[in-house]
Homo-oligomer: A and B are copies of this chain.
Amino acid sequence: MDEQALTDKLLNHAVGVTPQRLRIAAVMLDAPRHLSADQVLAKLNRDGGGVSKATVYNTLRTFTEHGLLREINVDGQRSFYDSTVAPHHHFYNPETGELMDIRADRIKVSGLPQPPDGTEAAEVEVIIRLRKRPAV
């Protein structure tokens, strides 16, 4: 995705465009990604710095609030940000910390009970925790 496309994407989501946001967008929004704030910061620093930690955190939050990213919590330690915002599910490997997408149409969840009074289901999230397969 070139700079113009990223710029358009930000503008379409009512997010102001700045050089820092474009750099973060280039890391997060040009392909399916699952990164923590720290990983984004590390990647930017590796490629020449220029974005502060606070700005990375604030920008990821801003992107999330505007529907450009999705926040995922799997381990209570840190949040991951997922560039795929359409509904889908995840494999999670606790040993490597890796998250993998599972397309929503692969998995069928049936038998959902009635949500409690006054509420409705907003989102169904399926996380499949992996473990090493024992040698056969």
Contact = CB atoms under 8 A, between A and B. Distances in A.
Contact of A118 (B73, B102, B132): B132
Nearest to A79: B76
Given A73-B75, A75-B73, A125-B126, A93 B110 contact: no
Number of copies of chain A assembled together: 2
Interface string A116-136: 101111111111111111000
A79 B75 CA distance: 9
Interface string A95-115: 000001010001111111101
Interface of A: 71, 73-76, 78-79, 91, 93, 100, 102, 106-113, 115-116, 118-133
